[in-house]
Chain A
Amino acid sequence: SQTIHQWPATLVQPVGSPLSLECTVEGTSNPNLYWYRQAAGRGLQLLFYSIGIDQISSEVPQNLSASRPQDRQFILSSKKLLLSDSGFYLCAWSGLVLFDEQYFGPGTRLTVT
């Protein structure tokens, strides 16, 4: 069965510090991968998606970036965090067969202080 992992689970970082969040998927090959951000009490905003290694599309221009160095690894990064980057970051995957269905990871709670 497929499993999606995210780490760290929680993170507190000062303004201006760098960021690296990691997401990995097990049990599937060539998944589509997604990064979403969820502000407190709000819906989910798609940040980036990837259909393959080194193929990244950005939905919202901001100081975040994403990379996919391996087939089942998706990384969200920032060189300098802003207060507005605080939120709940969710990684999701979808498969080649049931490509409509997206499955989410457990999320990373980021607080920028």
Chain B
Amino acid sequence: QQQVKQSPQSLIVQKGGISIINCAYENTAFDYFPWYQQFPGKGPALLIAIRPDVSEKKEGRFTISFNKSAKQFSLHIMDSQPGDSATYFCAASRLGSARQLTFGSGTQLTVLP
């Protein structure tokens, strides 16, 4: 009920291509869905987030698509660059005393030059 399933585990994309990472959740009480970017040896950095009242959110080259009925959301990275090579985590949280995040297992993205 608390799981967030993320796929693929790894992704290789050519420079300029589109990277797509998918996540699915089970708990319908989740109402906040962030994506984090993590470089090796660093803490995760908040990239972009969405709430269920919208189906899409775009910030620069990063877009979240959200499908409430399917309980799925995805991250699209347009015009992928070698500097985007990192591990990406989706997460979800629900209203509560501290908004605990449940994370997906991560996707290692490699963008080839």
Q: Which residues of chain B are within 8 angstroms of A46 by Cβ–Cβ distance?
A: 100-102
- Quick check: B49 and A101 within 8 Å, CB to CB? yes
Q: A104: which of B32, B43, B105 is its contact (CB, 8 Å)? A: B43
Q: Which residues of chain A are within 8 angstroms of B93 by Cβ–Cβ distance?
A: 100
Contact with B along A52-71 (1 / 0, CB 8 A): 00000101000000000000
- Quick check: B99 and A100 within 8 Å, CB to CB? yes
Interface size on A, residues (CB 8 A): 26
Q: Given A42-B105, A100-B93, decide whether A106 and B98 contact each other with a Cβ distance below 8 A.
A: no
Contact with B along A80-113 (1 / 0, CB 8 A): 0000000000101010000111111111010000
Contact residues of B between 66 and 113, Cβ < 8 Å to A: 89, 93, 97-106
| CA–CA, A101 and B45, complex, Å | 11
Q: Given A43-B104, A43-B106, A100-B93, decide whether A105 and B98 contact each other with a Cβ distance below 8 A.
A: no
- Quick check: B98 and A43 within 8 Å, CB to CB? no
- Any chain B CB within 8 A of the CB of A11? no
- Quick check: A57 and B89 within 8 Å, CB to CB? no
- Quick check: B43 and A107 within 8 Å, CB to CB? yes
Q: How far is the CB of B75 from chain A (nearest CB, A)?
A: 15
Q: Which residues of A contact B (CB under 8 A)?
A: 32, 34, 41-46, 49-51, 57, 59, 90, 92, 94, 99-107, 109
Q: Which residues of B contact A (CB under 8 A)?
A: 6, 32, 34, 36, 41-46, 49, 89, 93, 97-106
